[in-house]
Amino acid sequence: MAKRKRDEQYVKIANELLANNEINNAGDLQAVLKEIMGSAIETMLEGELTEHLDYEKHQASNSSNKRNGTTGKKVRSTYGEMDIDVPRDREASFDPIIVEKREKDISDIEDKILKMYARGMSQRDIAQTIEEIYGFDASKDMISRITDKILPEINEWQNRQLQACYPFIFVDCMYVSMKSDGYITKRAVYSILAYRLDGTKELLGIWFADTESKHEWMSIFDEIKKRGVESIFFIAMDGVSGLEAGAKAIFKDVIVQRCIVHLIRNSAKFIPSKDMKDFSKDLKKVYAAPSLKASESALESLNTKWNQYPGALRVWNDNSSHIFQLYSLGSDVRRIMYTTNAIEAVHSSFRKVTKKGTFESEDSLIKALYLRLTELERKWSVGKVRHWSMVLNQLMIDDRFGPLIEKYNDN
């Protein structure tokens, strides 16, 4: 690869810098750059004051407002903590721009803290990192104040207007440790991941409760309906009792699909290890059959061959409607509805920021989860759900969904 040619003026500056300063390592360079940065800021402040007063320094003027010395100020920068002299005027009307009044941080440190917070670093880890890189202390209170600035943004996000139609949503609940009155308790965190009509992903919201229940899910479904959701084609879920009925009470035409992977896990609990391989082979003929008729036949054979394990069979017999309804869908749609892995992947990412320990409040928890979500959304923004064009075509030729897609795409 060809060597990149650097701008000659910067090469000249670098050479002068090395010639006029004793620089033996990166630390020496950092110290010199900090001094240069401080001097540059002070020069810019003097320029701003000259513009404000409308006369040069040491120049005679009839103006009643004059220069009035300087005020020392300590600021944080990307080169570390530094002392600068801020010029003053007699009437105290000078309002600098480069370093605003009461501003103590002239770096992009706040953005860096938010990014570290989003990647799961604890406040202690963040403080230590800032001290190592920038040379100043970042207290727990300072980090909390910085991250608190996104709370209004989070509140706006939690209450935003949603799209009218989502072909697919995936629901799941995870638990996070929280401190309450000196005790550590588990707090339920509800999430809904949606696929939009254009094939992109969106997390509809994050909700907290004491436990996971049908009533909490119904409340959440009711909320998203009030926020603008009119139609949902499919809901993929695990096995919360009453969730299907609760979902249909809010969105009456929705198709609720049990996660096949969860059914496999639930039935495996009843199978001894010596039979697991053979049972799994026969079970796959039920949920991965090429047709509805083949699936029905495979389930009958499973009941006959493995009748010594009624617990495992009950899982599949009680949920046979969820298996068979998949065969009324195109193969690409079926692949999406097969599992709740999409939302479980979101929660897996969330656990990277919750596994550090306990949270002292819902505010601290929602900040961590929301900032983590911003990292996920960057990845989601670069593409659509896999094979989305085929999924959309298969939905379009289905009389249940085609008219709705046309309706909402027109809107």
Give 310's contacts (C-beta < 8 A, 6+ positions apart).
270
For residues 83-90, give the mean pLDDT.
Answer: 90
> Which range, of 1-10, 178-187, 223-232, averages the lowest pLDDT?
1-10
Q: Residue 181 pLDDT more than 80? A: no
Choice between 337 and 243, residue whose per-residue pLDDT is larger:
337
Share of the chain above pLDDT 70, in %: 93
Model pLDDT, residue 84: 87
Model pLDDT, residue 112: 73
At 7, is the pLDDT very low, low, confident or very high (cuts 50, 70, 90)? low
Query: Exposure string (b/e) for 155-191, b if CB count within 10 Å is 16 or more?
Result: eebeeeebbebbbbbbbbbbebebeeeeeeeebbbbb
pLDDT tens digits for 252-301? 999 999 999 999 999 999 999 999 999 999 999 999 999 999 999 999 99
pLDDT tens digits for 360-386? 888 889 988 998 998 899 889 888 999
User: What whole-number distance in Å separates Cα of residue 228 and Cα of residue 199?
Assistant: 19
Choice between 347 and 150, residue whose per-residue pLDDT is larger:
347
For residues 117-128, give the mean pLDDT.
Answer: 74
Q: Residue 137 pLDDT more than 80? A: no
At 206, is the pLDDT very low, low, confident or very high (cuts 50, 70, 90)? very high
Model pLDDT, residue 109: 67
At 78, is the pLDDT very low, low, confident or very high (cuts 50, 70, 90)? confident
At 13, is the pLDDT very low, low, confident or very high (cuts 50, 70, 90)? low
Q: Residue 320 pLDDT more than 90? A: yes
Model pLDDT, residue 378: 86
What ranges do the domains of the chain cover? 1-96, 108-149, 163-406
Q: Are 155 and 370 in contact (CB under 8 A)?
A: no
pLDDT tens digits for 340-367? 999 999 999 999 888 877 888 888 899 8
Choice between 317 and 78, residue whose per-residue pLDDT is larger:
317
